[in-house]
Chain A
Amino acid sequence: MRFESISITNYRQYQSLDVAFPQTMETDLHVIVASNGIGKTNMLNAINWCLYGDEPHLGDKDDSLTICNHIALEEAKKRGEKFATVSVCIHISTSSGKITFERKVDVNVSTRFEGHDRFKALITKEDGNTEILEESAADEVVNQYLPRKIRQYFFFDGEQLHNYFGKGQDSSHVKDSIHEIAQVSVVTNTRQHLEKIIEEYQKAISKLNPAVDKLSAAITAKKADRQKLEDEIKSLEASIKESEDVISTLNQQISGTETVVADNQRYNDNLALISQLEDDEKKQKELLLALVRKYYVLLMMYDVNTATGAYIREKFEKGVLPPDINIDLIKSSLTHHECVICKSSIDSTVEAYLNSLLEKFDVSTTVSHKLVEIKNDVARAVREARNYKKDKQAIFDRLREISERISALTSENEELYKRISACSSIESIGLWMKQREENRTLIRINSEKVGVYKTQLSTLSQEISTLQAQLDFAIADIEKCEEIKHDLNFATEARSIIAAIEDEIISEVRTQMESETMTLFDELIWKKNTYGHIELSENYRLRLFHKVTNESCLGSCSAAERELLALAFTIALHRVSGHDCLLFIDTPVGRVSDINRENFAKSLITVSKKKQLILAFTPSEYSTEIRKYFDASVVSSYNKMISVDEEITRQEV
Chain B
Amino acid sequence: MIQNPLILKKLKEKTHGDEAMREFILSIMTNESNGKQYAKFFRSEVEKYSKLRETKGGVGK
Which residues of A line the B interface, CB within 8 A? Answer: 95, 140, 143-144, 182-184, 186-187, 189-190, 193-194, 196-197, 200, 486-487, 489-491, 493-494, 497-498, 500-501, 504-505, 508-509, 512, 576-580
- Bitwise interface map of B from 38 to 61 toward A, beta carbon under 8 Å scored 1, else 0: 110011001101100110000000
Do A576 and B14 contact each other (CB < 8 Å), given the known contacts A189-B32, A197-B42, A497-B25? no
**Contact residues, B14-48 vs A (CB, 8 A):** 14-15, 21, 24-25, 28-29, 32-35, 38-39, 42-43, 46-47
Chain B residue numbers with a CB within 8 Å of A196 are: 39
Which 6 pairs across A and B sit closest by C-beta, in order of nearness? Answer: A490-B50, A193-B38, A501-B10, A183-B4, A497-B14, A578-B3
Question: In the complex, which residue of chain B has the Cβ closest to the Cβ of A189?
Answer: B32
**B residues within 8 Å of A by Cβ?**
1-7, 10-11, 14-15, 21, 24-25, 28-29, 32-35, 38-39, 42-43, 46-47, 49-50, 53-54
B contact residues around A576 at 8 Å (CB): 4, 6
Whether A494 contacts B3 by the Cβ 8 Å rule is: no
Please give me the residue from chain A that is nearest to B16 by CB atom: A497
Selected A-B contacts with CB under 8 Å, 7 pairs: A140-B35, A144-B34, A189-B32, A190-B29, A193-B28, A197-B43, A494-B28
Given A497-B21, A505-B10, A144:B32 Cβ within 8 A = no
A490 touches B53 (CB 8 A): yes
Q: Are A494 and B32 in contact (CB-based, < 8 A)? A: no
B-side binding surface: helix, strand, loop or mixed? helix
Asked whether B35 lies within 8 Å of A143 as measured between CB atoms, the reply is: yes
Besides A491-B46, A578-B5, 7 other A-B contacts (C-beta < 8 A): A144-B33, A183-B4, A490-B49, A493-B21, A497-B21, A501-B14, A505-B7
Residue pair B6, A512 in contact (C-beta under 8 Å): yes
Q: Most chain-B Cβ atoms within 10 A of its Cβ — which of A186, A187, A509, A579?
A: A186
CB pair A508 B21 closer than 8 Å: no
CB-defined contacts of B42 to chain A, threshold 8 Å? 193-194, 197, 491
Contacts of B38 in A (CB 8 A): 193, 197
Q: Is the CB of A144 within 8 A of B35?
A: yes
A143-B32 Cα distance, complex, nearest whole Å: 12
For B35, what are the chain A residues with a Cβ–Cβ distance below 8 Å?
140, 143-144
A456 CA / B54 CA spacing, docked (Å):
51
The distance in angstroms between the C-alpha atoms of A249 and B29, with both chains bound, is 91
A141 to chain B, nearest CB (A): 9
Judge whether A504 and B10 touch: CB under 8 Å. Answer: yes
Contact across chains for B10 and A487 when beta carbons are under 8 A apart: no
Residues of B within 8 A of A186 (CB): 2, 7, 29, 32-33
Closest approach, in angstroms, between the C-beta of A153 and any C-beta of chain B?
13
The distance from the CB of B58 to the nearest CB of chain A, in whole angstroms, is: 10
B42: nearest residue on chain A (CB-CB)? A197
Bound Cα distance A493, B21 (Å)? 9
A190 to B45, CA, bound (A): 13
Choose from B3, B10, B32 the contact partner of A579 (Cβ within 8 Å). Answer: B3
Nearest residue in A to B43 (C-beta to C-beta)?
A197
Residues on the B chain within 8 Å of A577, using CB: 3-4
Instruction: For A182, list chain B residues within 8 Å (CB).
Output: 4, 6
